[in-house]
Amino acid sequence: MRSTAALFALSALVSSALGATYPVKDKFVGQDFLTGFTHETLADPTHGRVTYVDQATALAQNLSFASDTSFVMRADSFSVLDPSGPGRSAVRIKSNNAYSTHVTVFDIRHMPQGCGTWPAAWEVNEENWPGQGEVDILEGTNDIEPNQSTLHTSPNCAQPAAGRAMTGNPVTNNCDSNADGNAGCGVQATAPNSYGKSFNAAGGGFYAMERTTSFIKVWFWSRNDPAVPADVKTAGASVNTDAWGTPSALFVPDTCDIPSHFGAHNIIINLTFCGDWAGLPQFFNQLGGCPGDCATFVNQNPSAFNDAFWDIAGVHVYA
């Protein structure tokens, strides 16, 4: 019995190490977001023109809404703001559970769009940043397509400029948050409908991130892409990432020891405005085609944020 048990344990260990099949650990659909996530009210670390509201306020003002099949989180689209007062109300949620080696699958019907917006779906340890790393899965500003997936870390982590097995294009390669204005090491997707207005026009889509001690991968499939894997589309009891094809972004350990740069992460989904990225004239005016300065636009144009909302069909974590 002892040798059989030991053999079984060894077999399970080898299977876990070599396989790419993960059982479901947590699933969040509709009302689950109100119990499995916390509405954060911290001051925006990216210095955005935003005020994050708590869950009670978000529900009372219809900034958060949960049905059986959907969770919506939106911006205030009715208030003209005092330039010297608080920023535009919006929602930032953080998972109560944290994850290390795992897969996260996001089924998103609609993401925030419009001038001044900076939406993101990402994972991080807020209490030890950048020491435990950050993985930005879906992120961008001012409707500038396509999506960019990025790592931010402590020093001594970088990515090769070429040679990675991915469909995306590397745009920055030093992951160190102390370098290059915290640009991180980013990979830009090649599908225009991976972000913003084009993403929404296609009915949204699916993002997935796999993190191991050896690599981090990000995939994207538009809603009606025939290549969407069945276990992604149906969010079943397990996923097999080996069957998902070439990722949009691949981060490798060649010049970045992943275990020492990434710890247990919470999932965060948020929307901010302007700030350290979206508010820069290069991105707000030149690339985003938005008028004036970002803060003034956000203050004076509440109706511009009618489409600044997330509609999330589900988030599933496999580990």
Catalytic positions: 134, 139
Question: Contact 241/22 with Cβ under 8 angstroms?
Answer: yes
Q: What is the DSSP string of 227-262?
A: T--HHHHTT-SEEEGGGS-S-SEEE-STT--HHHH-
The two most distant CA atoms of the chain are separated, in Å, by 75
Question: Contact 84/299 with Cβ under 8 angstroms?
Answer: no
7 by DSSP, 3-state: which?
Answer: helix
CA trace torsion 105, 288, 117, 266 (10° rounding): 40
126 by DSSP, 3-state: which?
Answer: helix
Which residues on neighbouring strands pair with residue 26, listed in sequence order? 317
DSSP alpha helix (H) spans, the chain: 2-18, 32-36, 55-60, 196-201, 230-233, 258-261, 275-278, 281, 294-300
